[in-house]
Amino acid sequence: MIKSNKGDTTLIPLRFTVLKPWYNSLKALIFYFLAAICSILFAKRYFNKKLYEEKVKLEMENQRLLREHKIEIENDRLIEDNLSKSKELANTTMHLIQKNELLNEIKNELIDVRKTGDHTLTTKDFQNLMKIINENMTIKEDKNLFESNFNQVHDVFLKKIKAAFPELTAADMRLAAYLKMNLSSKEIAPLFNISLRGLENKRYRLRKKLGLPFDANLTEFFLTYG
């Protein structure tokens, strides 16, 4: 109700428009829409980045596993090759030992026959036979085959021994190699084409070069070395 200046009371209808709250306005809705789109794009970018990082991490892990697998395969192959070469080395050594033992037996038999005087061999024939036997006892080709095989199987051992004891000769290294294989004096002597006493002298000189006491076990020393 509105009262005029004249004191009349007049009813004048009034119209009011109630505006929507600001957070429900068109501008606010547009803002919400744009914010939602930005949030979606940001989330998509974030998750794409995380997915890429996980992908890269997975690829790196796969590459690492692949490298380890290749290394494992290579190690297995090297172990198998080493075992094969060890067997070949053992076979070569046994062949040399058996051949030299047989030639020694033949040589001793010939010497015994020569001593008895009950023989038909001339001095020249006897000397020729002895020459052939001596030439075939651990010939150069056999030595080279052994050394080649042993160098491949025990490369680290030979390098460590040579570095620690540079004064060792080729013969000393051969003796060290035979001892590393745990061969007995009886088996080693024919490989040098010497007697057991001669081999003991070799062992004594080697022990001295290594600075070991007289009663030290050379075989145990080389078995645990390298």
Domain residue spans of the chain? 154-226
CB atoms within 10 A of CB 105: 10
Element (H, E) at 85: helix 26-116
CB atoms within 10 A of CB 116: 7
In this structure, CATH architecture of domain 154-226: Orthogonal Bundle (1.10)
Residues 100, 138: contact at Cβ < 8 Å?
yes
Please, is 191 exposed, middle or buried when counting C-beta atoms within 10 Å of its C-beta (0-12, 13-18, 19+)?
buried
Side chain identity, residue 54: E
State pTM to two decimals.
Answer: 0.46
Give CA–CA dist 101/146, Å, rounded. 17
- With a CB cutoff of 8 Å and minimum separation 6, the contacts of 188 are 175, 178, 179, 199
Q: Is the dihedral of CA 195, 149, 156, 78 positive or negative?
A: negative
Angle between helices 140-153 and 170-180 (to 10 degrees): 60
pLDDT values of the chain reduced to their tens digit, one per residue, 226 residues:
445 455 555 555 556 565 666 667 777 778 888 888 888 888 888 888 888 888 888 888 888 888 888 888 777 676 666 656 666 666 667 777 777 777 777 777 777 777 776 666 677 777 877 777 776 665 556 666 666 666 766 777 888 888 899 999 988 988 888 888 888 888 888 778 788 899 999 999 999 999 998 888 898 898 887 6
Q: Is the dihedral of CA 111, 112, 117, 120 positive or negative?
A: negative
Q: Is 13 helix (H, G, I), strand (E, B) or coil?
A: coil
- Secondary-structure breakdown of the chain: helix, strand, coil percentages, each rounded to the nearest 5: 75, 0, 25
